[in-house]
C-alpha cells in the first residue's frame, strides 16, 4: 500500500464513523420524541410493572412478600389479586400512595412493608408497578 492509499482509507473510515454517529444521535432523538402509548392501552406499562414486581427490573422486591404471582404469602404480604383491600380502595392512586409510603402498621402480617418494598422506585417505575397491581384484580369477582 502506498502512503496515499493509507490516507484515503483512513479518511474513509473516519467518514464512516462520523456517519454512524450521526445516525445514532438521530435515532436516539426519534426514540425520545416518540409519543407515549395512547391512554387505555397500557399493556407496555403493565408489563414493565410486572418486571419490577417480580424483581427482573429495578431490583423490585414486591415478590419476596406478596409472592411471584402476587397471591400473597402468609405472615408477609397479602394477596393483591382479589378485590379485598386492607388499607384502601384498590385504586391506582391508593396503590401508588401505599407503595411509596409503605405500611408501618400492618393489620394481619407480622412484618411491616417498607416504602417501595425496600428499594426506591422512580415515579415512572411507581406508575408501572401500580398499573400492574391494579390490573391483577381488575377481573376478580370479589
Ligand atoms: C417486606 C415485605 C413486603 C414487600 C417487599 C412489599 N410489601 Fe406490600 N405489603 C406488605 C405488608 C406487610 C402489607 C400490609 C399487610 C397487612 O396490613 O396485614 C402490604 C400491603 C400492600 C398493599 C396494600 C394491600 C391492601 O390489602 O390494602 C399493596 C398495594 C402492596 N403491599 C403492594 C406492594 C408492592 C407493589 C410492592 C413492591 C414495590 C410491595 N408491596 C412490597 C409487605 C411487603
- Provide the pLDDT for residue 106: 98
Identify the residue whose C-alpha is closest to ligand 1 atom 30: 99
Cα(70) to centroid(ligand 1), Å: 10
Beta-bridge mates of residue 73: 77
Identify the residue whose C-alpha is closest to ligand 1 atom 14: 106
CATH of domain 43-137: 1.10.760.10
Cα(133) to centroid(ligand 1), Å: 11
- Provide the pLDDT for residue 141: 77
Sign of CA dihedral 81, 82, 85, 89: positive
- Could you say which residues of the chain have pLDDT below 50? 14, 16, 18-38
What is the per-residue burial (b if ≥16 Cβ within 10 Å, else e) of 113-130? beebbeeebeeebbbbbb
Cα dist. 7→15, 16, 75, 77 in Å? 12, 14, 72, 67
Cα(77) to centroid(ligand 1), Å: 5
Residues 26 and 32: beta-carbon distance below 8 Å: no
What is the per-residue burial (b if ≥16 Cβ within 10 Å, else e) of 46-62? bebbbbbbbbebbebbb
Cα(95) to centroid(ligand 1), Å: 9
Amino acid at each position: 500500500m502506498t502512503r496515499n492509499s493509507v490516507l484515503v482509507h483512513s479518511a474513509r473510515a473516519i467518514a464512516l464513523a462520523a456517519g454512524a454517529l450521526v445516525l445514532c444521535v438521530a435515532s436516539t432523538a426519534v426514540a425520545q420524541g416518540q409519543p407515549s402509548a395512547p391512554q387505555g392501552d397500557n399493556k407496555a406499562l403493565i408489563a414493565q410493572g410486572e418486571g419490577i414486581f417480580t424483581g427482573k427490573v429495578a431490583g423490585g422486591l414486591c415478590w419476596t412478600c406478596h409472592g411471584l404471582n402476587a397471591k400473597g404469602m402468609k405472615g408477609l404480604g397479602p394477596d393483591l389479586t382479589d378485590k379485598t383491600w386492607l388499607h384502601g380502595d384498590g385504586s391506582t392512586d391508593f396503590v401508588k400512595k401505599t407503595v411509596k409510603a409503605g405500611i408501618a402498621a400492618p393489620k394481619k402480617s407480622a412484618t411491616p412493608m417498607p416504602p417501595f418494598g425496600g428499594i426506591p422506585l422512580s415515579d415512572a417505575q411507581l406508575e408501572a408497578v401500580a398499573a400492574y397491581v391494579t390490573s391483577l384484580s381488575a377481573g376478580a369477582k370479589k
